[in-house]
Structure 1
Amino acid sequence: MTSEPRILPLPDTGAHLVIGADGRPRIRLRTGRLVLVDAPAAALVEALESGAHGERSTALDRLTLEVQERESADALHRWPQERRDVCLLGTGPLVHDLERVLAAWGARVAVLDPEAAPSEHAALVVAYAEDASGRRRWAELDRLPERGTAWLRVHREGEVVLIDPLAVDPGDPTSVQVAARRVAASSAPASTEAWQRARPLTPGALDDATRALVLARLLHTILAWAQEDAELDRLRTTLWKVVPATGSVSAHTVLPFPAAPRRVIR
């Protein structure tokens, strides 16, 4: 004989008690995983349905504590404690959106003026620039990985938005190297370099679709860094670009190159 299926939320957690047609109680964790419970289904249902007006059973208290411990471990996996301090340099809706989504997933986010010095406690610095003047300090900030701080750059060129490779080690591509690679690969290098150095008028705010694409890519990259995901190596050599005019999204490999030797004046 089968039992009527039941689904009941487990208090103080994001989990649910699920009793299927087989009558066996299982907990559906926030991750979607189903875990068999070693307790009578009827006793758990009665304890959950009695709510605050009934006596909490020992089995329910033990189950709740175990689920809470699992949820705490999941939160640490999503954003490890030692990588939670993130500093955003920039202004505008995209920066505010990024602050909001990172904080929602456990990061400690500080938003600073583009001209401000990043916090020494930051494990990651993300900069957003809308024109060449906003990238003025990036060559200086390219040294952040030397002190163990990850470094990620987002910039607009007119309507086009680019996300540079994530720099984790001093040997990763710098903002200067990325710009040089793009000039070298251009069919009109002089014009490309002029565009990079000039301060053209920035068009209006990013449209919702572009902002959503950029935000998703940023979150994907930052999570890969925070969790030390296997994809991190590829992200450290990938320039990402979205062109709203055509709706095209592309990724381009950018490798670092040795710095030119300093000229010695005698």
Structure 2
Amino acid sequence: MSTARLAPGVALVTVPGQGLAVRTPDGEFLRVDTGTADPAALVAHLTGTTGDSPALEGLTDAFEQAGYLARPGGSSPRLAGRTVLVLGDEPLTGALTRLVRAEGGEARAVRPGELPAVEGPGTAVVWCLDAPVPSGLWDEADRLSARGVAWLRCHREGATAWLEPLAVGPGDVTSAHIRLRRLAATPAHRELAAYWAGSCTNDNGPAHSAASAALTAALLTADLVAWAAGADGSRRLLRRVDLRDLAVTAHPVLPVPDVAPVTR
């Protein structure tokens, strides 16, 4: 039996007069029936104070089956084996690159002209802008998800950073879909379209600070971790970060279905 240790976020709590309880990573408390085993011996065993004990093998197996143990060498970094191609503006790209590498992923910078050649299910492209998105800039990148490449992006409009949903497959939300949804949701759709087209004065909103860049990069990295784990919770959420107070809000969003051209 290999040495067992409590998984990250799991704690054993000695409750006076009640014995042991497990606090799960989600904050739930579960009573532990140690039977004839000494609770103190179980705590010592699972916290590394003592070595393996045949008398505690059954309890240790129960902890492992419940997912409350981490065996040495049993887990790998959450982005191991994934390649993340990064484009855009500092300080966003620097913060994102550091977090991706800390999670075991390979992060490297690419140029927009290299995107048509990018393919493969182990690859993600993340484009971060500290400014509005010029019309047409992300048209080519919107085709990435149809080729099996994960496509993630963020940009800033004034004092708001927009984090668009991760696109992984042909039916996911693209940047073009987001623009259509936002235009449909505002009575100022003509003004918003003109703003996106560049018919405005220079954007002088607050640029990303180190704190807002770190927050944005952390949210993007969480999307990448979910992608690597096969989860899809981030593929239908459009998030906004208020750069003035770092408040984050999320809004569900769906792709825009294709429609047949109008004929006369």
Q: TM-score range, shorter-chain basis?
A: 0.5 to 0.7
1:90–1:128 contact (8 Å) kept in structure 2: yes
1:156 corresponds to 2:167? no
Q: Tell me what 2:259 maps to.
A: 260
Distance 1:262 1:100, change over 3 A: same
Percent identity, please. Answer: 32
Greater Cα offset, 124-133 or 97-106: 124-133
Choose which of 37, 57, 61 in structure 1 pairs with 2:52: 37
Report the CA distance shift for 1:35/1:102 in structure 2 as closer, same or farther (over 3 A): farther
- Identify which of 194, 209, 212 aligns with 2:211: 209
- Flag the 1:163–1:133 CA change in 2: closer, same or farther, 3 A: closer
In 2, distance between residues paired with 1:114 and 1:202?
A: 25
Query: Measured at CA, do residues 135 and 119 of structure 1 come closer, stay the same or move farther in structure 2, by a change above 3 Å?
Result: farther
Where structure 1 has 5 or more consecutive residues not aligned to the other structure, the ranges are: 1-20, 40-68
Alpha-carbon distance in 2 for matches of 1:170, 1:36? 51
Q: CA deviation at 1:129?
A: 2.1
Aligned 8 A contact 1:166 1:235 in 2: yes
CA positional deviation for 1:246: 5.1
Indicate the structure (1 or 2) with the bigger Cα radius of gyration.
1
Following superposition, the deviation at residue 141 of structure 1 comes to: 1.4
Instruction: Please give the TM-score of this superposition, normalised by the length of structure 1.
Output: 0.67
Change (3 A) 1:151 1:94: same
Deviations 1:137-167 (A, max 9, x none): 3122111111111111111112210111111
| Superposed counterparts of 1:1-266, under 5 Å | 22=40, 26=45, 28=47, 37-38=52-53, 70-75=71-76, 78-81=78-81, 84-117=82-115, 119-121=118-120, 123-132=123-132, 136-198=136-198, 200-203=202-205, 205-229=207-231, 232=232, 234-245=233-244, 247-262=246-261
C-alpha contact 1:114 1:134 (8 A) present in aligned 2: no
Q: Secondary structure at the match of 1:242?
A: strand
Structure 1 distance, partners of 2:238, 2:50, is 42
Could you tell me how far apart the structure 1 residues matched to 2:152 and 2:41 are? Answer: 51
Residues in 2 aligned to 1:139 and 1:35: alpha-carbon distance in whole angstroms:
59
Gaps of 5+ in 2: 1-38, 55-69
Greater Cα shift, 135-144 or 155-164 = 135-144
CA distance in 2, matches of 1:28, 1:194: 61
Structure holding more helix per residue: 1
Residue 214 of structure 1: CA displacement? 1.1
Distance between the aligned counterparts of 2:50 and 2:176, measured in 1?
A: 51
Instruction: Give a deviation string over 1:37-61, Cα, whole Å, max 9, x none.
Output: 239xxxxxxxxxxxxxxxxxxxxxx
The corresponding residue for 1:10 is: none
The number of aligned residues is 210
Q: In 2, Cα distance between the equivalents of 1:225 and 1:127?
A: 16
Q: Does the C-alpha gap of structure 1 residues 134 and 148 become closer, same or farther in structure 2, counting only changes over 3 Å?
A: same
